[in-house]
């Protein structure tokens, strides 16, 4: 669950936006799911309109207005005419946080969002239950999925408590992230691995998402990641990698070490822009943690010949990425012999045998297996999926295991079977119809490696990660399997030749009663009678405990 916090001074403007149509008309059935009990009792859970939104905003803002309390923060503003930047103080009594799930997690019920929202504001210290101080008035609004398909809820809080004191917001973003991590565990939600272990995929910036929506295409970073991942695993050396990235449809350029043109420290890739869209370059580390050049080099041989061949290709593409011509074209230029299907399928089988000797705690060893298998699915997707489908999703799901921290990584051990040949076949082989028996057999072996990675996560106690891979085998893998010829052996029943995913490892979703056990029976607990706010003269002095404390 991902929190996103903003602060401002217009409660009416925020509530009108939440009750409105949204920037892209994505808001539907805008309604409350939780909040200050008196406000929820008064306005209920019906669809909000502008008039109701303004009425709610007025009630949220009542303590601040009647008690004459100001909450401000320091801000730097730029004069649009002179360009001069000044430091001033701006209103900051409105605290707004959206809590969102990944699109792949599906949707929660209003009741569950309400309990989560109540628990969140309690833990943030905005309520008497969470702080022992007077309540801040707040509401949680739900209005359908975002443009990215994320289920989410908006929480609006007035930072002036009902007794006129101010709620602290120091370090609020970091605290919100920690609370979300706890809520993920408590309510059986998907735990973000970027917070737990640092192995999550890179986030997509709003500008990237907007560009994809504007052009009606896939997010560029996702497509480039698939191209680079497939090229990385299919290549026997760095020079072949450069050539394969270009064959995959991407522009590629090197980043030479300072003052050198024979030492490459990194690289960046880009898709050819459509129409007047700008050319956007992505560094390897921006695509995924395991796609930096140093990390990919861990899987390639290191010799004077391969190093020189790589430098020659990098120099050629650095002169003009648009017009790059390979210096020494290799096997990527030809269609592989169909007889190689069995050989490379046997390689994957042998790799699985080798992995039985790798301890489950060996992060680097399992990262190599996950990275290679993800590369094979990415290559297959690149060849047969006109738009991202189950093969692409399987590659993305599996690649998260490969994205370990730098200090955990180490080169691939000598003697380890390579899947470069299998990936090359999946990337380059000619295909007729919906697929071949050879592909079906290789898919079985690849699915078995996914199962092995899933078992590893289970063994070391990472049930959430294992569950995600289990769903991948059940959903994504089955879609691909059903399009390929069935494999039937005399000694088995039809359909049993495919690896059977483990029994569902999905942890049972935390029950609403968990919240009840913490004293939160229903959203908006407390008296439904509004707290009466008596106006009084605002304070003219500020105590040390109240002074500021609201800046980030």
Same domain, 320 and 428: yes
Same domain, 292 and 343: yes
Rounded distance between C-alpha atoms, residue 250 and residue 23, angstroms: 32
For residue 78, tell me if it sits in a domain: yes
Give residue 487's pLDDT.
63
For residue 344, tell me if it sits in a domain: yes
Q: Name which of 189, 7, 34, 176 is nearest 93 in CA terms.
A: 7
At residue 275, φ and ψ (nearest 5 deg) are 60, -125
Rounded distance between C-alpha atoms, residue 189 and residue 120, angstroms: 14
Among 429, 464, 481, the domain boundary falls at 481
Contact 105, 189 (CB under 8 A): yes
40-87 pLDDT tens trace? 988 888 889 999 999 999 999 999 999 999 999 988 877 777 778 888
The first and second tokens of residue 61, run together, are 């803002």
| Mean pLDDT (whole number) for 389-400 | 86
For residue 392, tell me if it sits in a domain: yes
Rounded distance between C-alpha atoms, residue 112 and residue 120, angstroms: 12
Same domain, 38 and 181: yes
For residue 490, tell me if it sits in a domain: no
Rounded distance between C-alpha atoms, residue 192 and residue 160, angstroms: 32
pLDDT band at 514 (very low <50, low <70, confident <90, very high): very low
| Average pLDDT value over all residues in the chain | 81
Which range is least confidently modeled, 407-416, 426-435, 517-526? 517-526
Please count the structural domains in the chain. Answer: 2
Give residue 216's pLDDT.
65
Rounded distance between C-alpha atoms, residue 243 and residue 232, angstroms: 11
Same domain, 127 and 247: no
The rounded Cα 145 to chain-centroid distance in angstroms is: 16
343-387 pLDDT tens trace? 888 888 888 788 888 888 888 888 888 888 888 888 888 888 888
520 pLDDT more than 70: no
Range with top average pLDDT, 51-55, 189-193, 472-476: 51-55
More confident residue, 226 or 506: 226
Same domain, 155 and 236: no
**Helical (H) or strand (E) element with 152:** strand 152-161
**Helical (H) or strand (E) element with 246:** helix 238-247
Range of the domain at 252: 214-481
Same domain, 279 and 398: yes
pTM given for the model: 0.56
How many CB atoms sit inside 10 A of residue 219's CB? 17
Contact 140, 155 (CB under 8 A): yes
262-291 pLDDT tens trace? 899 999 999 988 777 788 899 998 898 889
Q: Name which of 283, 242, 469, 305 is nearest 373 in CA terms.
A: 469
């Amino acid at each position: 669950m991902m929190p996103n916090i903003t602060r401002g001074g217009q409660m009416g403007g925020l509530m009108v936006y939440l009750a409105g149509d949204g920037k892209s008309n994505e808001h539907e059935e805008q309604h409350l799911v939780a909040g200050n009990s008196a406000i929820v009792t008064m306005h209920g859970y019906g669809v909000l309109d502008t008039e109701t939104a303004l009425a709610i905003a007025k009630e949220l803002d009542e303590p601040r207005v009647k008690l004459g309390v100001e909450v401000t923060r320091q801000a730097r503003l730029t004069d649009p005419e002179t360009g001069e930047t000044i430091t001033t103080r701006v209103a900051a009594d409105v605290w707004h946080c959206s809590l969102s799930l990944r699109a792949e997690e599906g949707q929660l019920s209003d009741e569950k969002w309400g309990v989560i929202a109540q628990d969140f504001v309690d833990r943030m210290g905005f309520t008497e239950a969470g702080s022992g101080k007077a309540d801040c008035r707040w509401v949680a609004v739900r209005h359908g999925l975002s443009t990215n398909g994320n289920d989410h809820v908006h929480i609006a809080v007035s930072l002036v408590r009902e007794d006129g004191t101010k709620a602290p917001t120091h370090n609020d973003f970091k605290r919100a992230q920690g609370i979300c991590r706890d809520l993920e565990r408590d309510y059986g939600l998907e735990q973000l691995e970027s917070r737990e272990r640092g192995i999550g995929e890179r986030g997509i910036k709003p500008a990237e998402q907007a560009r994809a929506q504007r052009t009606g295409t896939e997010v560029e970073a996702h497509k480039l990641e698939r191209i680079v991942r497939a090229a990385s695993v299919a290549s026997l050396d760095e020079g072949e990698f450069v050539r394969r990235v270009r064959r995959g449809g991407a522009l590629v350029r090197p980043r030479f070490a300072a003052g050198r043109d024979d030492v490459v420290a990194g690289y960046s890739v880009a898709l050819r822009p459509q129409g007047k869209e700008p050319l956007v370059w992505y560094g390897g580390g921006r695509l995924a943690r395991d796609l930096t050049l140093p990390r990919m080099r861990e899987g390639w041989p290191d010799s004077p010949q391969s190093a020189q061949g790589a430098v020659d290709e990098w120099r050629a593409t650095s002169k003009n990425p648009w017009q790059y011509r390979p210096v020494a074209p290799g096997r990527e230029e030809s269609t592989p012999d169909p007889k190689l299907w069995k050989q490379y399928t046997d390689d994957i089988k042998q790799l699985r045998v080798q992995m039985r000797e790798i301890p489950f705690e060996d992060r680097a060893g399992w990262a190599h297996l996950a990275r290679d298998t993800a590369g094979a699915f990415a290559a297959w997707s690149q060849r047969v999926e006109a738009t991202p489908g189950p093969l692409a999703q399987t590659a993305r799901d599996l690649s998260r295991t490969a994205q370990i921290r730098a200090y955990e990584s180490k080169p691939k051990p000598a003697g380890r079977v390579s899947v470069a040949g299998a990936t090359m076949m999946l990337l380059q082989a000619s295909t007729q119809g919906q697929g071949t028996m050879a592909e079906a057999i290789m898919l079985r072996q690849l699915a078995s490696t996914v199962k092995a990675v899933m078992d590893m996560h289970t063994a070391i106690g990472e049930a959430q990660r294992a569950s995600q891979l289990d769903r991948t085998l059940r959903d994504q893998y089955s879609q691909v399997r059903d399009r390929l010829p069935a494999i039937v052996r005399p000694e088995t029943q039809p359909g049993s030749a495919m690896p059977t995913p483990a029994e569902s490892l999905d942890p049972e979703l935390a029950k609403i009663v968990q919240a009840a056990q913490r004293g939160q029976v229903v959203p908006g607990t407390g008296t439904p009678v509004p707290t009466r706010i008596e106006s009084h003269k605002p304070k003219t002095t500020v105590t040390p405990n109240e002074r500021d404390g609201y800046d980030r």
